[in-house]
């Protein structure tokens, strides 16, 4: 049993948690979700004891193992191999609590299936941070949600959690719309009351019959005061009454779509096989088709030659004077030391400040992070900054190599929507099943040193795939 009671934690003046309590029973596998910066990784570190809470306590029997998102030191193997080695070492220690921070990052489809099976056979408590929706749907049976400095536990699988959140959001919108309709009606009534009271005050010249009636009834002033009082009460009710806040809606990358104006591209690139670093990667001849408004998914195991092929595609496109943006998995040396990221992104792209802020915010880089110099950011934050740079730079062709590795759920959704609506030609390498299904129009597969058209994503990502 993992018990958290009245947990509070802050980074300086920035409180992350306040009086948070929950319990997770033995054998439960939990998805830990929340926006970027809400404290997901911090909570894992509090559970392991790496960090100490400001108040409250974390209690469990046995020991916990954590697989971090960014391991210390350099790997001599590929990122995917290194990730699986770290995960396997953690499982081998037979922990009572296993904490996994973005465990599917750098894993191919086969690696994700293997990890899913390992978690399924794990009898301890597993707490998992992941952007991979398809993986979470298969791996967890309950959800921890961090929101507004509180942590809530939802029983049920991830799909049930998503449906519940969507229903709650729809209910919020309905309540908001009903309230707005009522407030518009109240404003109209209040305005009429004000006009009536003002008209009553201004009517100085009156007929003899009206003057006589007022003196007989003695109620003119009384009526005028009542009209003014009613108007004031109605206005006060509008100003001070309870309000349902409009549900928070992320702008995503909608603004960027209006600024990007890609040129039309219609190109076939012919290859006589492919080699890289002295190794033959693809034996057969093939043609790589690139079209504006179409997204191609390039699939295959880690090490099959996908990134090498993308290198060749980029080089050939640039020789044809195409504007190419390329996001790579590795941190690139593209930043000036000492200058804040926002000014560098604006300078490199020529985009207005608001566009850069919207794109960065949608991908989890908020304004306070963009005000910092590159050496003040973590590895994951720098990779997100690189993705922002490639998206805001002018391009006709967008090449993305595992772009979702360090994005949260909302970031992946925003990127998916942007690609789906983009008029540019897009080529994507990804092992994120839902992301590929959501944005890819056509697929190529590299398998057993052969390049081929491949359309059945169900087979590729399914248990009988590669």
Mean pLDDT, the chain, as a whole number? Answer: 85
Does residue 202 carry a pLDDT above 50?
A: yes
Mean pLDDT of 174-194: 74
Residues 258 and 209 in one domain: no
Residues 58 and 192 in one domain: no
- CB-hemisphere CA count at 13 Å for 273? 10
Q: What is the C-alpha separation between 428 and 20, in angstroms, rounded?
A: 40
Last residue of a domain, one of 211, 240, 269: 240
Q: What is the C-alpha separation between 436 and 416, in angstroms, rounded?
A: 8
Q: Is 295 helix (H, G, I), strand (E, B) or coil?
A: strand
- Residue-number span of the structural domain to which 210 is assigned: 180-240
> How many structural domains is the chain composed of?
3
Task: Count helices and strands (H / E) in the chain.
Answer: 16, 17
- What tokens does 160 get? 């049930």
Q: Name the range with the highest mean pLDDT among 80-89, 220-229, 245-254.
A: 80-89
Does residue 242 carry a pLDDT above 70?
A: no
Residues 290 and 402 in one domain: yes
Q: How far is CA 190 from the centre of its chain?
A: 43
Residues 203 and 290 in one domain: no
Last residue of a domain, one of 215, 240, 265: 240
Residues 24 and 63 in one domain: yes
Mean pLDDT of 386-400: 96
Residues 305 and 221 in one domain: no
Residues 260 and 220 in one domain: no
Does residue 466 carry a pLDDT above 50?
A: no
Residues 57 and 197 in one domain: no
Distances (CA, A) of 54 to 75, 153, 364, 389: 35, 21, 26, 37
Residues 69 and 108 in one domain: yes
Do residues 265 and 289 make contact, with C-beta atoms less than 8 angstroms apart?
no
Residue 246 counted as domain residue: no
Tens of pLDDT along 418-433? 999 999 999 999 999 9
Mean pLDDT of 370-396: 90
Q: What is the pLDDT of residue 216?
A: 46
Mean pLDDT of 38-47: 93
Residue 283 counted as domain residue: yes
Q: Which of 386, 277, 412 is nearest to 328 (CA)?
A: 386
| pTM over the 0.85 mark | no
Does residue 246 carry a pLDDT above 90?
A: no
Do residues 145 and 118 make contact, with C-beta atoms less than 8 angstroms apart?
no
How many residues are there in the chain? 466
Of all residues in the chain, what percent carry a pLDDT higher than 70?
85
Of all residues in the chain, what percent carry a pLDDT higher than 90?
57
Does residue 377 carry a pLDDT above 90?
A: no
Residue 168 counted as domain residue: no
Residues 233 and 258 in one domain: no
Residues 313 and 450 in one domain: yes
Residues 442 and 294 in one domain: yes
Does residue 205 carry a pLDDT above 80?
A: no
Alpha helices in 106-157 (DSSP H): 109-120, 133-139
């Amino acid at each position: 049993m993992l018990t958290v009671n009245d947990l509070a934690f802050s980074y300086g003046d920035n409180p992350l948690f306040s009086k948070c309590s929950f319990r997770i029973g033995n054998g439960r596998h939990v998805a830990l979700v929340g926006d970027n910066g809400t404290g997901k990784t911090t909570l894992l570190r509090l559970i392991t004891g790496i960090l100490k809470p400001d108040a409250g306590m974390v209690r469990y029997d046995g020991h916990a193992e954590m697989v971090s998102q960014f391991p210390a030191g350099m790997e001599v193997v590929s990122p995917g191999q290194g990730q699986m080695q770290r995960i396997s070492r953690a499982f081998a220690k037979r922990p009572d609590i296993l904490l996994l921070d973005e465990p599917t990052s750098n894993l191919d489809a086969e690696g994700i299936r293997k990890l899913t099976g390992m978690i399924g056979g794990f009898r301890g408590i597993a707490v998992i941070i992941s952007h991979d929706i398809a993986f979470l749907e298969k791996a967890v049976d309950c959800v921890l949600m961090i929101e507004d400095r509180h942590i809530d536990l939802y029983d049920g699988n991830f799909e049930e959690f998503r449906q519940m959140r969507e229903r709650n959001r729809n209910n919020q919108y309905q309540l908001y719309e009903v309230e707005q309709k009522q407030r518009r009606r109240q404003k109209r009534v209040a305005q009429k009351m004000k006009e009536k009271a003002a008209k009553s005050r201004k009517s100085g010249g009156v007929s003899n019959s009206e003057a006589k009636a007022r003196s007989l009834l003695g109620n003119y002033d009384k009526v005028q005061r009542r009209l003014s009082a009613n108007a004031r009460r109605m206005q006060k009710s509008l100003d001070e009454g309870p309000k349902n806040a409009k549900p928070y809606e992320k702008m995503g990358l909608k603004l960027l779509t209006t600024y990007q104006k890609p040129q039309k591209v219609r190109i076939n690139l012919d290859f006589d096989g492919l080699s890289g670093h002295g190794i033959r990667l693809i034996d057969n001849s093939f043609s790589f088709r690139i079209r504006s408004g179409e997204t191609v998914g390039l699939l295959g195991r880690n090490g099959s030659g996908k990134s090498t092929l993308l290198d060749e595609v980029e080089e050939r496109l640039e020789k044809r004077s195409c504007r190419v943006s390329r996001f790579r998995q590795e941190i690139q040396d593209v930043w000036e030391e000492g200058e804040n990221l926002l000014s560098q992104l604006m300078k490199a792209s020529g985009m207005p400040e608001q566009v850069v802020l919207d794109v960065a915010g949608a991908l989890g880089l908020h304004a306070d992070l963009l005000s910092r110099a590159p050496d003040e950011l973590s590895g994951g934050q720098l990779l997100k900054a690189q993705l922002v740079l490639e998206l805001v730079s002018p391009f006709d062709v967008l090449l993305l190599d595992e772009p979702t590795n360090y994005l949260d759920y909302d970031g992946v959704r925003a990127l998916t929507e942007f690609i789906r609506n983009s008029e540019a030609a897009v080529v994507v390498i990804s092992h994120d099943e839902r992301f590929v299904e959501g944005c890819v129009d056509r697929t190529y597969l590299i398998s057993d040193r052969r390049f081929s058209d491949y359309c059945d994503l169900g087979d590729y990502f399914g248990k009988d795939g590669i």
